[in-house]
Every structure is written in C-alpha cells, then in structure tokens.
Homo-oligomer: A and B are copies of this chain.
C-alpha cells in the first residue's frame, strides 16, 4: 500500500493530529516500527533504536509502543509462549502463520474465513469485537 518512508510519515501525521507529543524517542520508534516487516518484539526494537539513540531506555520503548497502540498506529500480537510482537497498523487486516522451526511469521488473509467467523458469532447471538487466528506450522517435507 505504501513504502516505509511514506508509511512513517502518514503515521506521524496521524499522531500529530491526535495531540500526542512528538518526542525524539517516539519519532525514532515510529520510524523503526514502520520500516519493520518482521514482527519484532520490544527488546529487538530497543536494540534497533539503540543504534541511533544510545541512551533510550527499554521502559520508553514499552511505553511508546503502548501509546502508539492506543493511537491505532501499531498493533500488538501475543503469539504462544512468546513475548509480545509489534507491527505497523496501516495495512489491511490479516492473520498469521508461525513457522515453528524458523520462527518466521507469514501473513495471510481469507475473506471466506472472516465471513464464517461473523456468521458463527451471529448464530450464537454475538457480534465480533476482535479476533485472533494463528496457525502454528511446519514446512511440508518434499523429500521421500
């Protein structure tokens, strides 16, 4: 939908309008998260941030990620037995497959599943506020 640079810019604009104070730390983290496509966790984001801002604290990373999440520009995912992972929240909704061997996270989407989920909820008298679907997978072995 957008390259990392405009993605970060778009998110910065969204933030400025929401009245949140744009500190150096927040700008940096927003930029780093926007450019990431690998669902990093807080410690990894702190590591990346430290390259450009040596003194930044892990607390600030956590606080900033929570703030960015509240303002809807970042999404948090809590996969099984793992630390929370983050990604920019600009794209369309999608779910995740986690490769158990490599740890790689693959994104996917199925309109059909989403529709069925809504129907099943409706049948039970509910509307869906949020959902989570994760497939823990292994590469299919092509060898004999």
Contact = CB atoms under 8 A, between A and B. Distances in A.
Interface of A: 78, 80, 97, 99-100, 106, 108, 110, 112-113, 116-117, 120-122, 124-140
Nearest to A137: B126
The DSSP consensus for interface residues of chain A is: strand
A138 B128 CA distance: 7
Contact of A131 (B120, B121, B124, B135): B135
30 contacts: A97-B121, A99-B126, A106-B124, A106-B126, A108-B120, A108-B124, A110-B116, A113-B113, A113-B116, A113-B117, A116-B116, A117-B133, A120-B135, A121-B135, A122-B140, A125-B139, A126-B135, A126-B140, A127-B138, A128-B136, A129-B136, A129-B137, A129-B138, A131-B133, A131-B134, A131-B135, A132-B132, A132-B133, A132-B136, A133-B133
